Amino acid sequence: MYFLFCFGIILTLKKLFLADYRIEFYALSGAVVGALVAAKVVVTLDHTRAGTRFDESRPLLVAVSYKTLVYGAVAFGVLLAEKLFHAYGPAGGLAPALAEVWAHRDRNVILAKVICVGLTFAGYHLYTGIDRRLGEGTLRRIVTTGQSKEA
């Protein structure tokens, strides 16, 4: 739900920016797909050594930064693979598909997406890291009820 909320906000902002240019854009499907991809990346990497390498042995800031970079790189790879998948058939092979995807890149859009996804991952990892160090569920209780310990 966290990723759906974050991507919903990001894509709603994109829709509002594009409205100035009278460009129609439907954000709901993009938010749902983005949230599903991000959630799958998190679930998969949380069960690997790459995803848990610095959880206990380093300060929280180092662990969050590392995980944000690794998860962002994997998410980028998944999205690139999806673009290659769609270009593969019409292009007739992997090399032409890669050339097609590379030719239609927009550095500003890619940079904006990387920043938004990175901030989303950073927020998620910061929250889960603090919650894990306080004790599972403690941060959620503090945020939702204001109580730090169960009564």
Report percent pLDDT > 90 for the chain.
32
Concatenate the DSSP letters of all residues of 39-63 into one string: HHHHHHHTTSHHHHTTTTTS-HHHH
The model's pLDDT over 23-47, given as tens digits with 9 standing for 90+, comes to 887 878 888 988 998 998 899 999 9
CA 25, CA 5: separation in Å to the nearest integer? 18
Q: What are the boundaries of each domain within the chain?
A: 32-145
| pTM over 0.85, yes/no | no
Mean pLDDT, range 114-127, rounded to an integer: 93
Residue 151: pLDDT over 60: no
Taking CA atoms, 57 is separated from 45, 118, 119, in Å, by 18, 23, 23
Higher pLDDT, 134 or 26: 134
The pLDDT confidence band at residue 68, using thresholds 50, 70 and 90, is very high
Mean pLDDT, range 82-100, rounded to an integer: 86
